Amino acid sequence: MIELDVLTAGEALVVLAAETPGALEHVERFRRFSAGAELNVAIGLARLGLRVGYLSRVGDDTFGRFLLAQMEREGLSRELVGVDPARSTGFMLKSLASDGSDPRIDYYRRGSAASAMDATVLAAAGAIGARHVHLTGILPALSAGCRELAFDLAETARMQGRRVSFDPNLRPGLWPSRDEMVATVNALAARSDVVLPGLSEGRLLTGRDSAQDIAAFYLDLGAGAVVVKLGAEGAFCADRDGLRALEPGVPVRDVVDTVGAGDGFAVGVISGLLEGLDLRAATRRANAIGARMLRFPGDSDGLPTRRELDDLAD
């Protein structure tokens, strides 16, 4: 039995991040980082001392070996990461946005090793016990098999009385249609205990405008708690016990890179709840980590260690 605090699953990617601003086709120098929303969350939680399992596959190639080394360095178990000799590891190119806006990202992930996963990887991984399972809307978008895996993870965890968190993390380009994306993501949210939409995501998924109404939609769907990310304004949190609260954001003067801030936010909520914080305190931690992420270039560079987290709270 592999005993964990948190289990997550997804596609690990290599990101080649531009070192200079401008169109990607004109950039000559890039820095290499690990990427992937679920991997970012796994790394962030491991840095805080939690036992984290990351279920994935990489190719038997240079990028795959780089990612495996990164996972090992961050303290993630290699037992749950398969190596597929017939498929490649996905990667992406990311521009440098010097004005604080979202960078352009070009993905090269079609037919990747991770996209070939399905529910059988759970059986292959053996018995796994985790107090918390974290999922995003990216995994079910990769393939029919990955969709099966995502729903199986959520349903199994709920049957076992484990907490499930879900970040929609919408990637419209990975879905055959908007309607299928909305239906699938909301069906997975309905099987989750804590839902973490961004405001624009929530509007698209629910047809509702305000953070309060988006939260109400997911509470009615069956979630126990909802935290709606509001960017610089902070986050609105709500639960089935009647909590409704806006937690203000943390000001950031010099934004280096917006990618990964939402994953840092998820690290704050998940770690806070696992450590016994109430939802408001967990949301405050999430705001602080999300803001910290904006000051670093890599997708996971800004994720704090325990000592750095304590400094944020001072």
Residues carrying an active site annotation: 263
- CB count within 10 Å of CB 8 equals 31
Phi, psi of 292 (to 5 degrees): -60, -40
Q: Are strands 128-136 and 194-195 parallel, antiparallel or unpaired?
A: unpaired
Supply 176's token pair: 């055959």
CA pair distance 167, 86, nearest whole angstrom? 30
Instruction: Return the closest-CA partner of residue 219 out of 202, 233, 235.
Output: 202
82: left (phi over 0), alpha (psi -120 to 50) or beta: beta
Judge contact between 77 and 55, C-beta under 8 A: no
Helix (H, G, I), strand (E, B) or coil at 226: strand
Question: What are 253's strand-pairing partners?
Answer: none
Judge contact between 21 and 35, C-beta under 8 A: no
Phi, psi of 170 (to 5 degrees): -65, 135
Torsion of CA 49, 52, 56, 59, to 10 degrees: 40
Q: Which residues have C-beta within 8 Å of that of residue 23, sequence separation ≥ 6?
A: 95
From residue 53, give the alpha-carbon distance in Å to each of 177, 184, 198.
31, 24, 25
